[in-house]
Structures are given as structure tokens and as C-alpha cells.
Structure 1
Amino acid sequence: MALLLAMTLPCGAAHAQSKAAEGEKIAFDRAKGNCLSCHNIKGGDLPGTIGPALKDIKSKYPDRNDLVAIVTDETVRNPQTAMPPFGRNRILTKQEIDAIVDFLQTL
């Protein structure tokens, strides 16, 4: 069934879904993105409350580049943030950040 569904989706949509799924894995991985340590995210277990709940992201950040910048290094916009600079400190690669942003845009 999943194969049939994948075959009926446009190639770009299937690729975007796979990147979002990979982003979700990274975001929920306690050793990688670890987004759940600070944020409440639908589908995640044991969320933190330091950061805002991650929901309605696409409406809050219609420009994808804003999300990439936040995950890469939020200290550029807000030097007082508790958000780790995942890109600047090389905690996540650019590809991993892109996947997380794809996931966040589905919330």
C-alpha cells in the first residue's frame, strides 16, 4: 500500500515527505537534535518547557530561511537565547538542519 501511495505522489512531494520524516527522527533523537528537551512537539514524548511549543510553524515563519537561521544560530537574532547554535557549533550538518526545517514546516 505504501509503495502504491509513493508511486502516485509527485516525485517532489515524496522527497519532501522523506526529508520531513528524517527531520522528525533527528528532532526527536536525544543524542542529535534533541528538540524535545526544550519544546513540546506533537508526537514527541517527555517534552520540555524551556522553549515555545512547536506548532503552526508554517504560519509563524512563512519564510523557510528564517527557520534555517534560527536552528543554525539563533544567537545572531537574539544573543540572550537559550537555543543552542546547532549549525555554528556543528552539532548538526546543513543537511540535518534542512531536514529538521522540513519537519517543522509540517507542524
Structure 2
Amino acid sequence: MTALSRTSVLFLLLAIAAGLASPARAQSAVAEGRKLAFERGKGNCLTCHVIQGGDLPGTIGPELKDIKAKYPDRNELAAIIFDETKRNPQTMMPPFGRNRILTEQEINAIVDFLQTL
């Protein structure tokens, strides 16, 4: 086997391995996002929103359902969670990212979860 073909095989194997790991990573992010959304101390989405499977939801904000259809661009949804005051200065939603309540990674995990609703 030539050096070029060995390198090609190596890249192919790495690409396959990355593809196989991806669904597990995505599932983990969804689980982490759900945990954050339902956790009363950190994400705390249930304080204001009804979310299927959540206990004692609030009704200040809209019910969180059909999110992927409403926000097909995940960046828009992440921006809302990061700082909704940029889009709606009158919002009651805390600017989770701007105020460092949630990290960018945590916001992305919540977006992953919300897009499953």
C-alpha cells in the first residue's frame, strides 16, 4: 500500500468514526439541554414556559412546542436565549447569555433540546 493510499484510508476511517459518534453526542446535548431547561436553579425555563414533561410550569411566556417549525434557524433561537432584549426590549425574559447565567455551550444544549419539541 502506498503512503497516499494509507493516508486516504486513515482519513476515511476517521470520517466514519466521527460520523458514528455524532448521533451519540447530539443525544447527549439534548439530554443536557432538557436538564438545564427543567432545572430550577440554572436555565429555569419552566418558571415562565409550559414544556411537555415539565412540572409546575409558568404561563408568563409562550408554550414551548413546535420550536423547530417556529425557529428553523437555530442561531435565531440561540440569540433569543442569549439576549431577547435585543429583539424585544420589553421582554420579561432574562438575557441568559449576556448576564452569564448560561454559557454558550449550555445555550446550545438548550437549543438542541428545544428543537426536539
After TM superposition, the score normalised by the length of structure 2 is: 0.82
Q: Is 1:32 equivalent to 2:52 in the alignment?
A: no
- Report the Cα distance in structure 2 between the residues aligned to 1:10 and 1:44, rounded to whole angstroms: 31
Q: Is 1:49 equivalent to 2:54 in the alignment?
A: no
- Report the Cα distance in structure 2 between the residues aligned to 1:70 and 1:102, rounded to whole angstroms: 14
- Report the Cα distance in structure 2 between the residues aligned to 1:75 and 1:85, rounded to whole angstroms: 7
Q: Which residue is 1:59 aligned to? A: 69
Shift of 1:84: 0.5
1:28-107 residue pairs with structure 2 within 5 A? Answer: 28-107=38-117
Shift of 1:30: 0.3
1:28-81 residue CA offsets vs partner (Å, 9 max, x unmatched): 010000000000001100000000000000000000000100000000000000
After TM superposition, the score normalised by the length of structure 1 is: 0.90
For the aligned residue pairs, the C-alpha RMSD in angstroms reads 1.1
Q: Which has the larger radius of gyration?
A: 2
- Structure 1: 5+ residue runs without aligned partners? 1-8
- Report the Cα distance in structure 2 between the residues aligned to 1:14 and 1:63, rounded to whole angstroms: 22
Shift of 1:11: 1.9
Q: Is 1:13 equivalent to 2:23 in the alignment?
A: yes
Which one-letter code corresponds to 1:93 in the other structure? Answer: T
Tell me the number of residue pairs that the alignment of Structure 1 and Structure 2 aligns: 99
- Structure 2: 5+ residue runs without aligned partners? 1-18
